[in-house]
Amino acid sequence: MFDRRQALMALCGAVVPASAISAAPSSERLTGNLSPVHDPCIIKAEGLYHIFSTSRLNEGPGAIHWRTSKDLINWELKGAVMTQFPAWVKDELPDTRGAWAPDIIYTEGRYRLYYSLSMFGKNTSRIAMLSTPTLDTTRPEFGWRDDGVVVRSEARSDHNAIDSHAFIDDDGRHWLSWGSFWSGIKLAELDPTTGKLKKPGALPRSLVKRDSPGAVEAPVIFKRGEYYYLFVSYDFCCRGVNSTYHTVVGRSKSVTGSYVDDRGKPMKDGGGRIVLHADLDPSGRWKGPGHCDVFGDEGRDYIVYHAYDGQNGGRATLRINTLTWTADGWPVAS
């Protein structure tokens, strides 16, 4: 009998080995403090894994929850990055209460943590940055510095300045991708020294666009072999077990695109090969898997994301799967 999960992949042009579909995901081994986790990003520093995720100031212990693990399996809540916003936030976005969709990168001797400020469903938004020379809170040099606004969008803008991802390409050029709904996913070059836009007034490049209502967000760029892979989330998050969020990918030999899926359909035209989807979960428990980060560690690749737990009131929960790769170079979450 043709399995529904296999049928879904076939409709999207994906060819996935049966063993990869049926294999128990590594997420099932996770223990410790796993929720609420929404929009996670990950980095490894001095042998310790750090995950940062969306939260509100009044959602103890504060904004941008911070978890750590020694083995990628057992996670502890370390605290929060902020207990109050920088002073400029009150002037620019007085009604915002949460810091969304963090992303972290180490460069120029500092950990740069990008995060978003907005109101749900609006595009009056900011991507801002904090930085610190170390993630070891016991060191005297530790301390988050407010580096201010990186990208702005206003009600008149055709894009939404949230859900950012920083990336350094093979030529050493720094890039920031971002976007949620509106006209889709954008890309602009960063100044490596400051971590801010190299040409603030220039129009960003367009990487992904979908037909109305334009449900695409949360880009992540990952390099493997000769290709840059662009992961994004399609459809709707934040509805608990009724979320239709899922994760797709396209690839390009240039970081600026054009990104296409395994059928050759451009992501500018709504293309994308499915990587994570509720219908690929044999248990039926995990809904709306998305807003991922992708990283390589000790010869393995991983995809980190949130999904809504059908056995725990739809609570947003941390998930981590190993990424394997097909013979023709497409990622499979196993």
Binding site feature residues? 39, 121, 160-163, 180-182
State CA 252 to chain mean position distance: 19
Task: Give the span between the Cα atoms of 179 and 210, in whole angstroms.
Answer: 12
- Reduce the DSSP state of residue 307 to 3 states and report it: strand
Q: Which residues contact 21 (CB under 8 A, 6 or more apart)?
A: 3, 5, 6, 9, 280, 282
Q: Which of 96, 88, 81, 115 is nearest to 195 (CA)?
A: 115
Task: Give the span between the Cα atoms of 163 and 126, in whole angstroms.
Answer: 10
Task: Give the span between the Cα atoms of 178 and 270, in whole angstroms.
Answer: 16
Burial status of residue 18 (CB atoms within 10 A of its CB: 0-12, 13-18, 19 or more):
exposed
Q: Which residues are annotated as a binding site for substrate?
A: 39, 121, 160-163, 180-182
Q: Are strands 31-32 and 74-82 parallel, antiparallel or unpaired?
A: parallel
E strand residue ranges, 225-285 = 227-234, 246-252, 273-276
Residues annotated as catalytic are 39, 217
